[in-house]
Amino acid sequence: MALQELNFSFKPEKNFTSFAPEWFHSGVVGSGDMEVLMEHKKQDGKVTVKVVTPVTGFDQVWEKVLAKFVAETKIGNLHMEINDNNATPFIVHMRLKQALFEAKGDVES
């Protein structure tokens, strides 16, 4: 199946927290529903995301899910690469939050 690449950029919440670890990886795309690589990136607080997915026609839903993640977690200075294997919008949302929880020990305030 042809993969498509989507790119997004979000402004952080005003009181955002920078993603501190150099990088954090979670999930296995082959046997799971998605994987995500989170990297610290100094970019004026912005959160940038590259999504590689086999599902077409859901660009707007991706944008909403990611925007909600950024708003709820108040995270900033983060670049994410998501390799999607048919995860539902909610699963994406939950996996991102779970990944951030796991990485969080190192989050600086």
Partner 1 sequence: MEGNRKRWDTLKRDRMERIREAIPLVKMGKIVEASNAVKLLETVIKPYDKVTIEGDNQKQADFLADCLCKVDREQVHHLHMVQSAISLPSHLDVFEKKIASKVDFSYAGSQATRLAQFVKEGKIEMGAIHTYLELFGRYFIDLTPRVALTVAVSADKEGNLYTGFNTEDTPVVIEATKFKQGIVIAQVNEIVDKVPRVDIPGDWVDFVIQAPQPFYVEPLFTRDPANITDSQVLRAMMVIKGIYAEYGIQSLNHGVGFDTAAIELLLPTYGEELGLKGKICKYFSLNPHPTLIPAIESGWVESIHSFGGESGMADYVAARSDVFFIGPDDSLRSNRTYCQAAGHYGIDLFIGGTLQIDKFGNSSTATASRIAGFGGAPNMGCDPRGRRHSTEAWLKCGREDGVQRSLIGDLPRGRRLVVQLQETFREKMAPGFVDKLDAWKLAETAGLAIPPVMIYGDDLTHIVTEEGIAYLHKCSSLEERMAAIRAVAGFTEVGLEEKPEETTELRRKGIVRTPEDLGIDLSRANRSLLAAKNVRDLVEWSGGLYHPPAKFRSW
The piece of 12-20, 42-50, 76-84, 96-104 that touches partner 1 (CB under 8 A) is 96-104
Q: Does 4 engage in binding with partner 1 (CB under 8 A)? A: no
In this structure, are residues 26 and 57 in contact, taking their beta carbons and an 8 Å threshold?
Answer: no
> Exposed (0-12), middle (13-18) or buried (19+): which is 1, by Cβ within 10 Å?
exposed
Of 78, 13, 86, nearest in space to 50 by CA: 78
Choice between 3 and 94, CB closer to partner 1: 94
Q: Is 3 in the site for partner 1 (CB under 8 A)?
A: no
Q: Which residues bind partner 1 (CB under 8 A)?
A: 55, 58, 61, 64-65, 86, 88-91, 93-94, 97-98, 101-102
